[in-house]
Structure formats: C-alpha cells, structure tokens
Amino acid sequence: MKVGELIAGRYELEELVGEGGMSSVYRAHDAVLERRVAIKVLHEHFSRDSAYVERFRREARAIARLAHPHIVTVIDRGEWKGRQFIVFEHVEGENLKELVTREGPLPVARALELACQVARALAFAHELGIVHRDVKPHNVLVDPGGNAKVTDFGIARSLDADDALTETGTVLGTGHYISSEQASGERADEASDQYSLGVVLYELLAGEVPYPGENLMNVAMRHVSEPVPSVRAARPDVPERVDALVARALAKRP
C-alpha cells in the first residue's frame, strides 16, 4: 500500500508514520466521517500466513473491548487487496520514547502521573483477561493535553490458559522492557506487564533503561540474572518510596 491510496473506498492514506516487524502504520483521512485516523496494515508476506492473520484479527477483537480513556480506541477492521488492516483513533502528539529523548529525565511528579495513567489502562485490560506483553514507551502515546494512551496490543493474548495461540518457550516482547519470565520463555501474565511498566517508569525518571545493551539476548539475560539497579543511584532526588516502588515492579519473581 502507498500514500494516496484509498482503502476500502473510505480511508485515504496520507503518510507512513511507523513500521514494525509485522505491520506498517499510516496516518489517513476517513472520507465518511471526515476525520483523521491511524491505520495499521499487516505486511504482505504475513498476510499469506494464517497464524499471523489470526493474531492480527485477534488484536482488533481485543482492543475493541478496551473502551478506556487511556487506551487508543479501535474504530474498524477489514481486508483490502489481501491485506489485513485495523483502524484506530489518531492521537496527535508523540510517544513516551520521543518525549524522554527530547526532554531527558522527567520531573518525578510528571513521571508518576504518566505511569499511573498507563497502569490504569493495563489494569482495565487485565480485568478483561487481556495482557499487553509489549509495554514500552514507544507504545504509549501522549496527546497535546499530556494524557497517556496505550496502543499496539499486537502481541496481546488472552489470560485463558487454553488459548491455542499461546506458545510456551516463545520469547515475546521488546528486549529492554521484557520481564524476566518472558526472557526465560515462560508464560506472560499481568505481572509481566507490571514489570515492563516498572522499566518504563525507571526510564522516565533516570533518562535511560535499567539494563542497557545492544544485543537482544544479552539484555534479556540481564533482566533474568542481574540485581535491580536503584533509581536513586542514577538520580538522587527521586524519593525513597518511588525507588522502592520501581524495585518492587522489577522484582525477578512475578
């Protein structure tokens, strides 16, 4: 798909705004409701794989249940020229990674405010039996009003132990934010999202991740085996209670 193309006779692609391993995200114009939207399109080679298509469809079904002020709303889903797509509300602003890169460590109160908003969103999803499994600052959008919205439930899964698409021993998530149990190939649950949120909060406060590194497996193993670093060691003005909060979130045992 390319910029200028009209999808399903309704969504005109305006700009490619992001690209991942499984899909591309475009800003688009909804010609029916006269509004700007975001469209995630599954890559062509994955569209020929029934397992990936089912995962993509499951994402749409999962997010459609998540009506929450701090979760990006899904609007529509469909297929166009053999390519699966999902339509989301368009959130003006930037993601948390861009925010920290631009501003550096955030004021403690602001970092906690954003983390609490993300926590409320994840708690709501968990109540409905949905685990995100890829919580990271790239997947948290911040609108012009300063409100956080969690997006990209692309590898989310049901908490139902009978979920046929769950594969024990498969490492899912992003290296710098992955929980120790995910890094070990174990089943992710609500505590895994809490761990990843703890890493995000650490980064918002310290301006860097707790276990830096370029090699995915090396970083993952650091999450498994290395002691939890103190936020106060990187930033002494962080209150002890906040340091203890991050340490608890990053505990090795779920």
**How far, in Å, CA of 79 to CA of 1, rounded?**
12
- CA dist 186 → 41, 180, 182, 211 (Å): 29, 9, 5, 20
Q: Check if 162 is active-site.
A: no
Say how many CA atoms lie within 13 Å of 167 toward its Cβ. Answer: 8
Phi, psi for 192 (deg, rounded to 5): -65, -40
Q: Which of 76, 134, 152, 243 is catalytic?
A: 134
**How far, in Å, CA of 183 to CA of 175, rounded?**
8
Give the pLDDT band of residue 217 (cuts 50, 70, 90): confident
For residue 252, give the 3-state DSSP assignment.
Answer: coil
* pLDDT (tens digit per residue) in 148-185: 999 887 555 544 433 333 333 334 446 899 998 888 88
* pLDDT (tens digit per residue) in 6-52: 999 999 999 998 887 778 899 999 999 999 999 988 888 877 888 87
